[in-house]
């Protein structure tokens, strides 16, 4: 029974599209008749071509539009940014860390800003401390470990990415 319904819809859609194109041709004929009655000379070829083109454009528009399928994204519960979202970024560092081992500039440009961002986000989310405010810097110093403090305050190109240093930074970031 379903194939019949699908066939009926397809035939009905084809009839509608044919009717729209035929309506465009009728529009062209009507334009010629109205133009001739008004004293203008409108060639049949121009009017029929324009009417046919208008009918095809409308048919394509009808054929190309589909009903809105509704929300495409899966519905998930509203999650506020918390410690889990910050620590989830640690797993995305894997590829960047592997490639930064051979390129010190990559550490300064890719890894260190992300590690610092994780530290700053963790400080704000877990302790309510804003690294950017000078008044909070003493409190931040008391909360973070010595390697994380060095990560946040060291001058560019002074830190080296080693497996031990990375492990220490990650351990301190997870305990923040």
The pTM for the full model equals 0.46
Encoded tokens for 95:
């590829």
pLDDT of amino acid 19: 78
Q: Percentage of residues in the chain with pLDDT exceeding 70?
A: 69
For the stretch 42-100, pLDDT in tens is: 888 888 788 878 878 877 777 776 666 666 555 545 545 454 554 555 566 666 666 66
- For the chain, give every domain's residue range: 12-64, 83-175
pLDDT of amino acid 13: 63
* Mean pLDDT, residues 11-22: 70
Q: Percentage of residues in the chain with pLDDT exceeding 90?
A: 0
């Amino acid at each position: 029974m379903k194939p019949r319904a699908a066939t009926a819809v397809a035939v009905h859609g084809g009839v509608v599209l044919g009717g729209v194109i035929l309506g465009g041709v009728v529009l062209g004929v009507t334009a010629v008749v109205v133009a001739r009655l008004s004293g203008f000379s409108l060639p049949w070829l121009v009017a029929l071509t324009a009417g046919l083109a208008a009918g095809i454009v409308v048919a394509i528009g009808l054929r190309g539009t589909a009903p809105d399928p509704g929300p495409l994204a899966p519905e998930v519960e509203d999650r506020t940014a918390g410690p889990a979202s910050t620590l989830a970024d640690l797993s995305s560092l894997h590829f960047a860390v592997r490639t930064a081992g051979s390129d010190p500039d990559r550490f300064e440009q890719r890894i260190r800003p992300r590690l610092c961002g994780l530290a700053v986000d963790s400080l704000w989310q877990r302790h309510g401390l804003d690294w950017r405010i000078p008044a909070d810097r003493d409190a931040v110093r008391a909360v973070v470990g010595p390697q994380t403090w060095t990560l946040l305050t060291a001058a560019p190109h002074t830190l080296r990415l080693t497996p031990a240093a990375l492990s220490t930074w990650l351990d301190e970031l997870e305990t923040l």
